[in-house]
Amino acid sequence: MLFLGFAWGLRVFADDGLEVVAQKGIGDMACGPCAVLDTFRFGNTALTNLAAHLPGDKLSDKVKYLIATYGGRNSSLFSDQLRYTPDDGMWNEDMAPFINDVLKDHSVPLTVSGEYLARQPGETAGHHLARVHDLMDASIKAGFPPVLGLHGYVAHRKFIRYYWNQLDGHFVTVVRVAPLSRAAPGFSMWVADPNKGRILQTFVYAERNRPFTAITAIKADRRNNEKDTWSSGYPFLLIISPELEDTVDTDSAKWHERTVCIVEYLVHDKAANPAAKN
């Protein structure tokens, strides 16, 4: 598979033997730290140098170093939790602090930020699609392939009503997005997937026909209880990918139950945010 180059020093696929970090053998919930290492390895020269100098001869050793050094710090979301645990993985909100600490300790002059990719009030489906596409594209071109959080949801029937419930979450690294054509329903995206250990081609689109419900914000109260904000309608873009939909556990649903895989959270180069420049 051949990927075209994007920006100064950006590492891209060109059948050069550069493998995707696989979480197998590291941990069932290690997709987050694996995606971080892939972001470094496919990033600009400063990031590839960082990845090369992380302790460990094997990629799995480097991921374990990241987990041991940065995953054991306190979560920014829940003060009584760690950023990473083998049983639960990582919260979206801890991904940017995790990466920023690595960058700071290795003297890389870069700051990343994370955000939910929820549709904004008054935003059309087309504008939502373009905003998310441009945010990914700008970060890639700046030399920081963004870390993307995905999440599965299923509508379960209870008596005469259906209720949306969470399935599993998953982190990948976005290594390429195709140009977004005007009036297009979506765009192609290529991601480095830690679960499969390879690059996957996917399609991101704005659902316009069948509403769904998903969590658009998570907060913790003073007792560290989780407080979720649920939004209905078309709160997120959706993804088409048999492999990734399987990873977020949509295959556990019954044949007649509706499932979605949402494009939930993005950690990107803060300075490359197109919206911040407008």
Tell me the pLDDT tens digit for each residue of 76-118: 999 999 999 999 999 999 999 999 999 999 999 999 999 999 9
Confidence of residue 1 (pLDDT cuts 50, 70, 90): very low
Cα(123)–Cα(94) distance, integer angstroms: 27
Mark out the alpha helices in the chain (DSSP H runs).
31-41, 45-53, 59-66, 95-105, 125-141, 242-247, 274-277
Confidence of residue 272 (pLDDT cuts 50, 70, 90): confident
- Look at phi and psi of residue 233 and say left if phi exceeds 0, alpha if psi is from -120 to 50, else beta: left
pLDDT of amino acid 158? 81
| pLDDT-above-70 percentage for the chain | 92
pLDDT of amino acid 17? 52
Q: For residue range 233-254, what is the model confidence (pLDDT) as tens digits?
A: 999 999 999 999 999 999 999 9
* pTM score over 0.95: no
pLDDT of amino acid 277? 59
Q: Kindly tell me if the per-residue pLDDT of 72 is higher than 80.
A: yes
Place of tokens 């730290």: 33
Place of tokens 């939909």: 245
Please provide the size of the chain in residues: 278
Q: For residue range 35-60, what is the model confidence (pLDDT) as tens digits?
A: 999 999 999 999 999 999 999 999 99
Using alpha carbons, select from 173, 221, 202, 228 the residue that is nearest to residue 38: 173
The domains of the chain are located at: 31-277
Q: Kindly tell me if the per-residue pLDDT of 5 is higher than 50.
A: no
Q: For residue range 126-182, what is the model confidence (pLDDT) as tens digits?
A: 999 999 999 999 999 999 999 999 999 999 888 878 899 999 999 999 999 999 988
CA distances from 226 to 154, 221, 223 (A): 20, 7, 9
Q: For residue range 213-240, what is the model confidence (pLDDT) as tens digits?
A: 999 999 999 898 999 999 999 999 999 9
Confidence of residue 276 (pLDDT cuts 50, 70, 90): low
Cα(227)–Cα(212) distance, integer angstroms: 20
Confidence of residue 11 (pLDDT cuts 50, 70, 90): very low
Beta bridge partners of residue 17, listed in sequence order = none
